């Protein structure tokens, strides 16, 4: 019957996705190691259906409309390590399914319409479990103390509880060690209680889709906590100025926290934070990295200057604020960021005029890396001049800005060694580019030549331009790496490559190679080429002559006649 449409490879990996199976297909064997039956219409798994595949390690049954599984359906699967039952129609879960699965490391039960996790504890026999995903959007409403019995340590625990109505206190406390906990909660109602229970076990807490507008701190009923929590992330969450202040109060319980992240969050406020309120922390403790991506601020135009958080961020070393309509970092704020070494403001609205205010005298005194990719900078000369205040700057990324043609001379911070000018529309490189560079990226531009002497350059990225030949080796006496893919280079020779004294890596695939006698003889006689050309041989195809078009250089043979003529 349906067995023909299951395709298995020699190692026992079987693919039965989207085959319209209405039951587990027959003909399963002990040779099968992995079975993927997702996106079918299976509805029912009977007690003998999986009996034959006793060596199965991976079983994927997601999105297959399963509503019933017999109690002993998995009894022969003692070797199973990965079980995915997500997005089915299971309205109740039975502990008898999981009893025999003592090898299980990964279990996904998410997206089924159950309200609780079974009448009795589901997981006491899963002593090897590392990853567990549970819950759903609509019906999962209660987390109980029996739910996690038997689990002591997990790498990843994800709980989707967007309709949670009851959290029995201590429920999550029994798991002593959780590397990464992801909680989808729509309201902050149980947040404090859960937070207290996971404080001594979770290293990375990720909160998703939570409206924190009404979050109110109150002291936790814990004494002597030493929390291992290092990272805290909010994704798709809503905050207000007030609730931000309330959240800050949690920091006193997580003294080892080093990284905070906000992705796709909405701030319904004006940036009028008030961390100096009575009992609030005055600094972020050990937090070194703050990352904000796609922050939405509806009342953006009324936004405050953030002066209330200046002192909070004095010790922070890495800040990313990406795609969040930043057009200015006020001078006094920049001056307070005394420890900042890395600042990424990609995909914002910075122009030279405001950048000048942000990088004012005394701004970011420790800054080493500045990323201004995809902003609205236009003048390379002005940008360099503005950044002269950053004495410690070694790395500047101004890629994806559309620059006017560069002048012959520019000024840059003295210590600059890395410059990224990719996708900036440049047609010509001039001596505006600083001689101090060790790494230069000019990929994806309109360059048809490159003739600039860069005595310290070690890495040149010049892919996706219009060069017809390799640049002259005498320009870069210490070059180690060159990436020049997707240009119009037609050939390279022994002399040319030999003239780069230190070149270790060349990526030159997807060019327009003319497979002449000389080029093909050279590649044939130089097997060591494969060690330098990292994308050899698949990206090196002959463009011409017509008889060799599309052949790999490695396989193409020169014509005897042509080589004879060349020799003569
Ligand atoms: C757990 O495993 C043991 C042996 O490994 C077995 O005897 C017991 O029945 C299992 N528990 C359940 C609930 O199946
Ligand atoms: C560079 O940063 C260090 C701290 O990392 C600081 O002591 C020094 O003053 C900075 N240099 C300049 C020129 O600002
Ligand atoms: C330069 O910037 C581009 C685009 O922003 C990025 O993809 C690339 O990795 C950067 N180059 C280097 C060498 O980091």
Q: Which atom of ligand 2 is nearest to the CA of 365?
A: 14
For residue 76, what pLDDT is reported?
A: 95
Q: Which atom of ligand 2 is nearest to the CA of 391?
A: 13
Q: How confident is the model at residue 94 (pLDDT cuts 50, 70, 90)?
A: very high
pLDDT in tens, 399-422: 999 999 999 999 999 999 999 999
For residue 308, what pLDDT is reported?
A: 72
443-568 has which fold? 3.80.10
pLDDT at 136 over 50: yes
Peptide bond into 275 cis (omega under 30): no
CA of 418 to the centre of ligand 3 (A): 11
**Average pLDDT value for residue range 190-205:** 96
For residue 4, what pLDDT is reported?
A: 54
pLDDT in tens, 35-79: 999 999 999 999 999 999 999 999 999 999 999 999 999 999 999
pLDDT at 121 over 50: yes
CA angle 169, 172, 174 (to 5 degrees): 105
CATH of 176-296 among 1.10.150.120, 3.90.1200.10, 3.40.50.620, 3.80.10.10: 3.80.10.10
198, 199, 204, 207 alpha-carbon torsion, rounded to 10° = 60
CA of 354 to the centre of ligand 3 (A): 24
Q: How confident is the model at residue 276 (pLDDT cuts 50, 70, 90)?
A: low
CA of 55 to the centre of ligand 1 (A): 19
**Ligand closest to the CA atom of residue 398:** 3
For the chain, the residue count is 568
pLDDT in tens, 311-330: 788 889 999 999 998 888 88
pLDDT at 223 over 80: no
CA of 499 to the centre of ligand 3 (A): 27
Closest-CA residue, ligand 1 atom 11, reads: 99
More confident residue, 468 or 498: 468
- Select from 366, 390, 415 the residue to mutate for testing ligand 2; criterion: most ligand atoms less than 8 Å from CB: 366
Q: Can you count the helices (H) and strands (E) in the chain? A: 10, 30
Closest-CA residue, ligand 3 atom 10, reads: 420
For 532, phi and psi rounded to 5 degrees?
Answer: -90, -40
For 316, phi and psi rounded to 5 degrees?
Answer: -70, 135
Is residue 485 within 8 Å of residue 506, measured between CB atoms? no
pLDDT at 283 over 80: no
Whether 317-437 shares its CATH topology with 443-568 is answered yes
Q: Which atom of ligand 1 is nearest to the CA of 98?
A: 14
CA of 124 to the centre of ligand 1 (A): 9
Report which of 71, 118, 62, 112 is spatially closest to residue 90, judged by C-alpha positions. Answer: 112
- Ligand 3 site, residue 420, Cβ cutoff 6 A: yes
- Ligand 1 site, residue 94, Cβ cutoff 6 A: no
- Ligand 3 site, residue 266, Cβ cutoff 6 A: no
CATH of 317-437 among 3.40.50.970, 1.25.40.10, 3.40.1280.10, 3.80.10.10: 3.80.10.10
- Select from 422, 439, 458, 480 the residue to mutate for testing ligand 3; criterion: most ligand atoms less than 8 Å from CB: 422
| DSSP annotation of 545 | S
Closest-CA residue, ligand 2 atom 8, reads: 366
- Ligand 2 site, residue 296, Cβ cutoff 6 A: no
Give me the residues paired with residue 106 across strands. 82, 131
**Average pLDDT value for residue range 137-152:** 96
Q: How confident is the model at residue 1 (pLDDT cuts 50, 70, 90)?
A: very low
Q: How confident is the model at residue 568 (pLDDT cuts 50, 70, 90)?
A: low
CA gap 261, 320 in Å, rounded: 9
Closest-CA residue, ligand 1 atom 9, reads: 99
For residue 5, what pLDDT is reported?
A: 82
CA angle 282, 288, 293 (to 5 degrees): 100
CA of 443 to the centre of ligand 3 (A): 8
Q: What is the DSSP string of 245-266?
A: HHHHGGGGG-TT--EEEEES-E
Closest-CA residue, ligand 2 atom 7, reads: 366
- Ligand 3 site, residue 422, Cβ cutoff 6 A: yes
CA of 339 to the centre of ligand 2 (A): 9
Percent of the chain with pLDDT over 90: 81
Residue with tokens 């280079």: 489
pLDDT in tens, 18-29: 999 999 999 899
Rounded to two decimals, the pTM is 0.89
CATH architecture, domain 1-155 = Alpha-Beta Horseshoe (3.80)
Instruction: Please give the helix or strand (H or E) that residue 382 lies within, else none.
Output: helix 380-386
Domain ranges of the chain: 1-155, 176-296, 317-437, 443-568
Strands 395-397 and 369-371: parallel
Give me the residues paired with residue 154 across strands. 178
- Ligand 2 site, residue 335, Cβ cutoff 6 A: no
- Ligand 1 site, residue 102, Cβ cutoff 6 A: yes
Is residue 512 within 8 Å of residue 543, measured between CB atoms? yes
For residue 298, what pLDDT is reported?
A: 81
Report which of 156, 164, 170 is spatially closest to residue 202, judged by C-alpha positions. Answer: 156
- Ligand 2 site, residue 339, Cβ cutoff 6 A: no
CA of 197 to the centre of ligand 1 (A): 29
Q: What is the DSSP string of 78-113?
A: TT--EEE--SS--SS--HHHHTT-TT--EEE-TT--
- Select from 99, 122, 126, 150 the residue to mutate for testing ligand 1; criterion: most ligand atoms less than 8 Å from CB: 99
pLDDT in tens, 518-566: 999 999 988 888 899 999 999 999 999 999 999 999 999 888 877 877 6
For residue 281, what pLDDT is reported?
A: 57
């Amino acid at each position: 019957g349906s067995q023909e449409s299951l395709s298995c490879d020699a190692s026992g990996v079987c693919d039965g996705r989207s085959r319209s199976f209405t039951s587990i297909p027959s003909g399963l064997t002990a040779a099968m190691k992995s079975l993927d039956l997702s996106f079918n219409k299976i509805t029912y798994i009977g007690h003998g259906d999986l009996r034959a595949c006793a060596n199965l390690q991976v079983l994927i049954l997601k999105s297959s409309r399963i509503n019933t599984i017999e109690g002993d359906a998995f009894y022969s699967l003692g070797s199973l390590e990965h079980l995915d039952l997500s997005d089915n129609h299971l309205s109740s879960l039975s502990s008898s399914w999981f009893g025999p699965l003592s090898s299980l490391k990964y279990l996904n039960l998410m997206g089924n319409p159950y309200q609780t996790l079974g009448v009795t504890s589901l997981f006491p026999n899963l002593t090897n479990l590392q990853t567990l995903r549970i819950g759903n959007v609509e019906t999962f409403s209660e987390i109980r103390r029996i739910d996690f019995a038997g689990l002591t340590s997990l790498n990843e625990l994800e709980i989707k509880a967007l309709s949670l109505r009851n959290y029995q206190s201590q429920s999550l406390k029994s798991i002593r060690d959780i590397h990464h906990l992801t909680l989808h909660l729509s309201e902050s109602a149980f947040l404090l209680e859960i937070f207290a229970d996971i404080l001594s076990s979770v290293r990375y807490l990720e909160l998703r889709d939570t409206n924190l507008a009404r979050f109110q701190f109150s002291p936790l009923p814990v004494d002597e906590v030493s929390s291992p929590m290092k990272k805290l992330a909010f994704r798709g969450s809503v905050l207000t100025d007030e609730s931000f202040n309330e959240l800050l109060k949690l920091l006193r319980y997580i003294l080892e926290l080093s990284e905070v992240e906000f992705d796709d969050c909405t701030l319904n406020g004006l940036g009028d934070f008030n961390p100096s309120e009575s009992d609030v922390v005055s600094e972020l403790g050990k937090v070194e990295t703050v990352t904000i991506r796609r922050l939405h601020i509806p009342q953006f135009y009324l936004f405050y200057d953030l002066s209330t958080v200046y002192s909070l961020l004095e010790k922070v070393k890495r800040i990313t604020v990406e795609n969040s309509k930043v057009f200015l970092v006020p001078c006094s704020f920049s001056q307070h960021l005394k420890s900042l070494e890395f600042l990424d403001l990609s995909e914002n609205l910075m122009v030279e005029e405001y950048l000048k205010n942000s990088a004012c005298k005394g701004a970011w005194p420790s800054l080493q890396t500045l990323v201004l990719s995809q902003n609205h900078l236009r003048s390379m000369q002005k940008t360099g001049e503005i950044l002269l205040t950053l004495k410690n700057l070694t790395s500047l990324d101004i890629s994806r800005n559309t620059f006017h043609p560069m002048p012959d001379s520019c000024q840059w911070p003295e210590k600059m060694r890395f410059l990224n000018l990719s996708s900036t529309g440049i047609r010509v490189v001039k001596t505006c580019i600083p001689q101090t560079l060790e790494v230069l990226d000019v990929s994806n531009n309109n360059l048809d030549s490159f003739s600039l002497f860069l005595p310290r350059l070690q890495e040149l990225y010049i892919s996706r331009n219009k060069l017809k030949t390799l640049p002259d080796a005498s320009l870069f006496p210490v070059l180690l790496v060159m990436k020049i893919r997707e240009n119009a280079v037609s050939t390279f020779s022994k002399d040319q490559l030999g003239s780069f004294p230190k070149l270790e890596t060349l990526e030159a695939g997807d060019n327009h190679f003319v497979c002449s006698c000389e080029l093909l003889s050279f590649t044939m006689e130089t097997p060591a080429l494969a060690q330098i050309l990292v994308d050899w041989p698949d990206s090196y195809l002959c463009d011409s002559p017509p008889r060799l078009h599309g052949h790999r250089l490695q396989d193409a043979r020169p014509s005897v006649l042509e080589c004879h003529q060349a020799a003569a």
